[in-house]
Chain A
Amino acid sequence: MAKHVVLVEDETNIAEAIRFLLGRDGWRVETLANGGNAAEVIRAARPDLVMLDVMLPGKTGFEILAELRGDATLADLPILMLTARGQSRDREMAERAGVSRFMTKPFSNEEMLSAVRELTEGRVI
Chain B
Amino acid sequence: MVSLNQLIAVCLIYVAGLFLVAFLAERAALRGRGGWLLRSPLVYTLSLSIYCTAWTFYGAVGYAARSGLEYVTIYLGPSLVMIGWWWVLRRLVRIGRAQRVTSVADLISARFGKSNLLAVMITIMAVVGVTPYIALQLQSVTLSVSIFATPETGSGTAPQISDNAAFWVAAGLAVFTVLFGTRNLNANERHHGIVIAVAVEAVVKLLALMAVGAFVVWGISGGVSETVARIDASPIGTWQTSASRWTALIVVSAAAFVCLPRMFQVMVVENDDERHLQIASWAFPLYLLAISLFVVPIAVVGLELMPAGANPDLFVLTVPLSQGQSGLAMLAFLGGFSSATSMVIVATLALSTMMSNHIVMPLWLKLNPPAAQQSGDVRDVVIRARRLSILLIITLGYFYYRASGGSGALAAIGLISFGGVAQFLPALLGGIFWRGATRMGAVAGLSVGFVIWMYTMLLPSFGPGAALSAAVFEEGLFGWGMLRPQALFGITGLDPTVHAIWWSLSINAILFFVVSIFSFPTPLERLQGAQFVNVFDHSSGPARGWIASEGGAEDLMIMSQRILGAEEAQAFFNAQAAQQGRRNAPPVPTPEFVQALERELAASVGAATANAMIGQIIGGQAISVEDLMAVADESAQILEYSSRLEAKSRELTETAQELGFANEKLMQLSFQKDDFLSQISHELRTPMTSIRSFSEILRDIDVLSTAEKTRYATIIHSETIRLTRLLDDLLDLSVLENGQVSLNARQVQLHDVIERAVTTAQASSAHVLDIRRDLRTEDVMLITDADRLAQVFINLVTNAIKYCDADTPRLDIAVRREDSEVIIAFTDNGSGIPAEAQNLVFEKFARLNAAQGSGAGLGLAICREIVARLGGDIRYLSEGRGGRFEVRLSFTSSREENQRLLPV
Chain A residues engaging chain B, CB cutoff 8 angstroms: 10-11, 13-14, 16-18, 20-21, 24, 33-34, 55-58, 84-87, 104-110
Contact = CB atoms under 8 A, between A and B. Distances in A.
Interface stretch (B4-12, B235-243, B424-432, B693-701): B693-701
Interface in B843-894: 849-851
B851 A106 contact: no
Contacts of A109: 693, 696-697, 700
A116 to B, nearest CB: 14
A56 B697 CA distance: 25
Interface of B: 678, 681-683, 685-694, 696-697, 700-701, 715, 718-719, 849-851
B849 A57 contact: yes
Contact of B690 (A14, A21, A57, A58): A14
Nearest to B711: A16
Given A21-B697, A84-B682, A107 B689 contact: yes
Nearest to B701: A24
27 contacts: A11-B686, A11-B690, A13-B687, A13-B690, A13-B718, A14-B693, A17-B689, A17-B690, A18-B693, A20-B697, A34-B851, A56-B850, A57-B849, A58-B851, A84-B681, A84-B682, A84-B686, A84-B689, A85-B681, A86-B682, A104-B685, A105-B689, A106-B685, A106-B691, A107-B692, A107-B693, A109-B693
Contacts of A105: 685-686, 688-689
A16 B682 contact: no
Contacts of B688: 105-106
A55 B605 CA distance: 99
Contacts of B718: 13
B686 A17 contact: no
A41 to B, nearest CB: 16
A109 B697 CA distance: 8
A86 B681 contact: yes
Contacts of A33: 851
Given A105-B689, A109-B700, A17 B694 contact: yes
Contact of B678 (A20, A87, A106, A107): A87
A56 B688 CA distance: 18
| 6 cross-chain pairs, A with B, having the tightest CB-CB distances, nearest first | A84-B685, A57-B851, A17-B693, A13-B690, A105-B689, A106-B689
Contact of B715 (A13, A86, A104): A13
Q: Which of A10, A13, A85 has the most CB of B within 10 A?
A: A13
A57 B849 CA distance: 6
Contacts of A10: 850-851
Nearest to B679: A85
Contact of A57 (B683, B689, B696, B850): B850
Contacts of B700: 109
Given A33-B851, A55-B850, A56-B850, 18 more contacts: A10-B851, A13-B718, A13-B719, A14-B689, A16-B715, A17-B689, A17-B690, A17-B693, A17-B694, A18-B693, A20-B697, A57-B849, A57-B850, A84-B683, A84-B689, A85-B678, A106-B688, A107-B692
A53 to B, nearest CB: 9
A13 B686 CA distance: 10
Contacts of B849: 57
Contacts of B715: 13, 16
A23 to B, nearest CB: 12
B116 to A, nearest CB: 82
Contacts of A106: 685, 688-689, 691-693
A33 B852 CA distance: 10
